[in-house]
Amino acid sequence: MTAARSAKRMEAALRAAGYRLTPQRAAILAYLAATGSHPSARQVYDEVRQTYPGLSLATVYNTLGILVKSGLLKVLEFELDNRYETNLTPHINLICTRCGKIQDLVAPLPISAEHLADKVGFQVLDYRMEYYGLCPDCQGRIKNRQSATKINKGEQYEQS
């Protein structure tokens, strides 16, 4: 929706990086530009297939990998189902351990790259800031339905 994530801009950046814009890639880009979520590769596959039925999962992985290499996308690595970050502006992700939803929270990073370089000697290239817990919806659900199931970070998310 924003300029930074517009499909047109991503298409141009892809071409600038020397890649061709195929119909499959355009469809994936359009989905990524439109979504406000942090989808997994499988989610991208399932969603884009609704408008582009012939798409293969391998192409999804291939395209996502290209986008990451080109700096248009970030990966949040998890043990199962990596998630893809389309919002490249500095922010914190609030990750619900019950439903898997990831919500952006605009907030300053705790320490500046300059400080880390000067005081600790660490050269910052990237970051990942996450809080885990329960989103408003899931808090309500638990309060009401008094879920007997244990909610752990390692647990498989339920389908929304």
Distance of alpha carbon 46 from alpha carbon 55, whole angstroms: 9
Distance of alpha carbon 31 from alpha carbon 73, whole angstroms: 13
Quote the tokens at residue 66. Answer: 């290209």
Residue 40's binding partner among Mn ion, Zn ion, DNA, none (Cβ under 5 to 8 angstroms by kind) is: DNA
Nearest distance from residue 105's CB to a copy of itself, in Å?
A: 7
Subset of residues 18 to 77 that bind a copy of itself, contact rule: CB under 8 A: 68-69, 75, 77
Q: Pick from 130, 114, 14: which is nearest to 65 by CA? A: 14
Contact code string over 75-94 relative to Mn ion, x by CB under 5 A: ----------x-x-----x-
Q: Does the protein bind a copy of itself through residue 132 (CB under 8 A)?
A: yes
Q: Is 105 left (phi over 0), alpha (psi -120 to 50) or beta?
A: beta
Residue 104's binding partner among Mn ion, Zn ion, DNA, none (Cβ under 5 to 8 angstroms by kind) is: Mn ion
The residue with its CB nearest to Mn ion is 104
Coil, strand or helix: which one is 40?
strand
Four-point Cα dihedral 90, 110, 69, 40, nearest 10: -70
Residues that bind a copy of itself (CB under 8 A): 68-69, 75, 77-79, 82, 92, 94, 97, 103, 105, 107-111, 113, 116, 120-136, 139, 152-154
